[in-house]
Amino acid sequence: MTDIFPKEMYLDYTGVIDFTRKKELITRLTNSLKGMEINSGMRKRMVYVLEELLSNSHEYYKKRELPDEEITLILELNENNELEIQLSNTVLKEDSASLLEKIELINSLVDEQLQDLFEKAIVSDLTNNFGGGLGLISIRMKTGAEFRVDLIEKNEFQNILNLKTILNLNI
C-alpha cells in the first residue's frame, strides 16, 4: 500500500548510544533542519527533545550496566507538519512496570499538574535519583503531546520500549 502523504525522514539511526554518538545525532538533526522554515525557538525545542530522549537512554544503559545495547531513533515529518519522534530501546523487565506507570501518570496530567510534578521530580531527583521521570516530564511539557508507548518482549530478562511523541511545528 502506498502512503498518499509520504513522511519526510529527518533522522534514522540504529546503534549504540554514547556521548559522542549523541552529539553526532544532534548535529545531523541540526543540519537536516537548515533548509526548513522553522523559527529558532522551535529548532531549540526539537534539539532539546532529541537531547533528552538520547540522554535518558544513555543514562539508563549506564546505570543498568547495558553499555552495548542499541537504540533505534526515527524522526519523520508528517503531512500535518508535525515531527514524529520514535525511540526504541531495551529496558529490563524488572523496570518495565514502573516505567509504564510513570509514563501513564505523565500522560494523564494537564500543564499545571505537569509543572507541579516537574518541581517535585527535581527535588526527588536530587535526593533519591528519580530516574526516567524528570526527562520524560520535560519532554511532555515541551511537546504538549502525550507519549504513545508499546512494550515488546525481547527475551526473558528484557523488553523493547517503543516510545513515540509528536512535536507540532505549526505552533
Residue 119 located in a structural domain? no
CB 91 within 8 A of CB 154: no
* pLDDT greater at residue 106 or residue 9: 106
Percentage of the chain modeled with pLDDT above 70: 91
Radius of gyration of the chain, Cα coordinates, nearest whole angstrom? 16
Residue 111 located in a structural domain? no
- Please report which helix (H) or strand (E) contains residue 51, including its range: helix 40-63
Q: pLDDT tens across 31-83, in order?
A: 887 777 778 888 889 999 999 999 989 988 988 998 788 999 999 988 888 89
Distance CA 50, CA 111 (A): 21
- Residue 138 has φ and ψ, to the nearest 5°, of -65, -35
Q: What range defines the domain where residue 44 resides?
A: 8-93+143-168
Across the range 14-25, mean pLDDT stands at: 90
Residue 122 located in a structural domain? no
Residue 132 CA, chain-centre distance (Å), reads 11
Residue 155 located in a structural domain? yes
Grid cell listed for 37: 522554515
As for how many domains the chain has, the answer is 1
Across the range 107-136, mean pLDDT stands at: 79
CATH number for the domain that contains residue 20:
3.30.565.10
Residue 148 located in a structural domain? yes
Residue 124 located in a structural domain? no
- For residue 2, name the pLDDT band (cuts at 50, 70, 90): very low
